[in-house]
Structure 1
Amino acid sequence: MPTHKKIDIESANLLNKDSHLLRQFLASKTHKRVQSPLSRPKLSQSDKDILIDLAQMVEVEPYDYLQVAHQAYLLTLEPYFVDINIYIKKLIENIAAMAFETDGSCAMTKQEILQRLEQFHHQAEPIFSDIPI
């Protein structure tokens, strides 16, 4: 019930006698509530490195979505790819999938990719503006 967030705790207290299981349930529920504030996981150094690599791929002029898609696909073959942040992994897979439409209908523009990359650096200063190629 979105309007009554503590209904599970109140129901457990009302329907059950004081017992070990009730105290364990209440402790687990209050523990989950303490941990629940959504904080973005910190990016590892390899996550940051791969974001920089992606940004450098996109900045190459002239922008060619097939070349960017191919380079993103090559990143998926790297051994460290399995250990990177799941959201970065999905972005790379989406960029790599651009190569499957020969007419470019699913291709992301340079700006779209840079905006998605920028989401990972919302608190830090942008690293994509003056990247040496």
Structure 2
Amino acid sequence: MTKPLVVFPDVQSAGAGVLRAALAGRSEPYVVGATVGTRVPETPDLPYVMVRKDTDAPHPSMANARCTLRVTVWHADADQAHDLAMLCQGLLLVHSGPVMRGCRPATGPLPAVDDVSGIDLSTCTVLANVRPTVLAPQ
């Protein structure tokens, strides 16, 4: 019996997509105008939300991968950065879909200041359980 060929989808892109869609429908003042991406901005248009994959660890059975997603929010002030980071974390925690089957809280939100721009930011992490994709044999 041969083993199935299993790969894991791009959880970083999926996380950004989840937040992009979820934030578009929000009315909180600190969300207005927020953009979501996966790259560190040179000079971010505020507010800016970045989603990055920090780690991943597939289960030995290849039936699941546990990935750490880091959400960093640049905003006009520390309070709004915190509030938007907290909302992003919450939105990821309630999400279940074709790539991420669920998330658990890990750290944050934690306040900081961007070393380059001096802009207030806040960062948090979640542990995402990622569904595998079984590829057809060729």
Q: State whether TM-score is above 0.5.
A: no
Larger radius of gyration: 1
Where relative contact order (Cα < 8 A, 6+ residues apart) is larger, the structure is 2
Between structures 1 and 2, the one with greater helix share: 1
Between structures 1 and 2, the one with greater strand share: 2
Report the TM-score, using the length of structure 2 for normalisation. Answer: 0.29
Report the TM-score, using the length of structure 1 for normalisation. Answer: 0.30
